[in-house]
Structure 1
Amino acid sequence: MLDGDWIVICIYEGREGLGGEETLKIGSYNALLKNSLPKEFQYYKADEETFESSHEVFRSAFPRGFAWEVISVYSGPPVIAFKFRHWGIFEGPFKGHAPTGETVEFYGLGTVKVDESLKVEDVEIYYDPGELFAGLLKGPSIPDSESKTETAHSASACPFQH
């Protein structure tokens, strides 16, 4: 269960955490992929995406879903440490790059702090987003019109994907 005031801290490069409301407003993908690189080096510009557009980008790239699985749990409450894998089959376009049909994945570590009733108080996620984008940018560039057509096709796929 989540307390209304829970905090998500997406950590790499020493960034500040985001509150639950802010994370819901901008979208979890944008919260996790926001970074301080100069714009010309950003392969995903979280500041230019909305909650809806960010989810469409990843639903299009992974039409069968983008699973998050816990690999190992290292400690119990109140601070739970775990290793996770986030993965999917790259079968749709991603930001002008053709799909490869390969599994795209990244691993990370996280901690969850809970209170006595096991309500989440704090979440910290540690990972390297470069692992994700290495797989997504592997496909060849595709023209804008072809990318939009494939995105529209992917959007009409089975709704039980995420």
Structure 2
Amino acid sequence: MRAAVFKGADRPWAIESLPDPEPGVGEAVIKVGRCGVCGTDLNMTSGNGYDFPCGSVLGHEFCGEVVALGQDIRSLKIGDVVTAMPAAGCGHCDMCRIGMQVMCATPTHYMGGFGEYMRIAERASVKLPSALSLLDGALVEPLAVGLHGVSLARLKPNARVLVLGG
């Protein structure tokens, strides 16, 4: 597969041919349909603080079509259009048991939306309704972040808010 590979801060990214990902137990592989560029991608490749390792294929605001299934998959099938959170929890800790997989102390991270294919965890995936396009599907993760912020702020319907930034 081809993928955009991070080569280091202040260095151009490279389009490289990489092996196609193989699904592990509880995982699927999707053909990426759309992937957004997040502020995290920009911040974590800037050289100002923690950066993703050189050689990383980033991209965590994605959606695509399931093309391969690993063992023990129960809810996904080939052809499903899905998105997934960029981290899957262990499934056993307190945070996972209350549905907060991204707060797990030992998550497995899933990046790779800047490639043609990527692995996802079934337990962190969501099938998209047919009314949503691939473009819509790539916006599910940023929407979830916004909804989480609204929840934390305990906003009520019709509340006035100020949004700063893009």
Q: Smaller-chain TM-score range? A: under 0.3
State the TM-score, normalizing by the size of structure 1: 0.27
- Greater strand content: 1
- Greater helix content: 1
State the TM-score, normalizing by the size of structure 2: 0.26
